[in-house]
Amino acid sequence: MSNTENKETKTEVKAEANGPEIAEPKQTENKYTGPPVARVITSLFRSIAIEEGDIEKLRQELAQIREFEPRALFEEIDGDRNGSISAQEIQAWLTANFAQNTTADVCQEIIAEFDSSQDKRMDYSEFCNLIMPAANQNLRDYCLYGRRPSGPPGMSQPASVCALAVRIFESETRLAAKKRDARAQLSQNPEFDLARVFHDVSRGRYDIQVYDLVDFLESNGFFPRTEDLEAILRRCDHDADRALSLEEFTEVCEGL
């Protein structure tokens, strides 16, 4: 037997001893399969427009109840009477008024939406921004300043007032959940680049004008009405200049 044949025989014996060769599993890439960035952002603005529009209708309906007193309702929720409301106090009040699926975390999200002082609590002025009309200044002023108290200090608000206030909080909860889901989709999409999206929507300018936003939304399947645009501006345009700055756009897409 030649040396070559001996080498081949030894190789075969060694392979049999080690058992059959097992193929290495191929590494598969985890590719993003969700909707594109533009569609997610459009859906987010649509949710803001619809929910804020519905919430404003509830605010105005609440403001027209003769017995409604914003300060009295605030003090009713402020369990420890320290002048500001915590997430736990909101949760306790909502639970006592038969609201469904309320948690302290969700209530904290609602506070964050109106927390201009960034102290993670809700003072009376912030509470009024949550509960009072934003699109009807006359109705807001009358409810805040032109109405005489209908009962003694410390008196609980009637059931009709509490029921509408609960519906406002529940609508805020729904909007918070939709924002959370959209932001999670954006954060998981490797193609999401906030600065690039802002540049594209604003057409290279330093802010997004209303007509820029309309063009972007319409190009992605959402044709906003005037009331939809006003609802978006109420929620997102914090400095009331009827445009969205990079900071305001960042808050919409990524939160605080």
Summarised one tens digit per residue, pLDDT across range 13-41 is 554 555 555 555 555 556 767 789 999 99
Which tokens hold the place of 96?
Answer: 């006592």
Q: Is residue 26 part of a domain?
A: no
Instruction: Give me the pLDDT at residue 38, please.
Output: 96
The pTM of the full predicted model, rounded to 2 decimals, is 0.83
Instruction: Give me the pLDDT at residue 29, please.
Output: 58
Lowest mean pLDDT among 87-101, 112-126, 142-156, 199-213: 142-156
Looking up tokens 């924002």, which residue turns up? Answer: 179
* Beta carbons within 10 angstroms of residue 53's beta carbon: 17
- Measure the CA–CA gap between 199 and 113, rounded to whole angstroms: 25
Q: Is residue 233 part of a domain?
A: yes
Greatest Cα pair distance in the chain: 116
Which amino acid does the sequence have at 57?
Answer: K
pLDDT-derived band at 174, boundaries 50, 70, 90: very high
Q: How many domains does the chain have?
A: 1
Domain limits for position 115: 37-254
Q: Is residue 133 part of a domain?
A: yes
Q: Is residue 22 part of a domain?
A: no
pLDDT over 70, % of the chain: 84
Instruction: Give me the pLDDT at residue 1, please.
Output: 52
Q: Is residue 15 part of a domain?
A: no
Q: Is residue 203 part of a domain?
A: yes
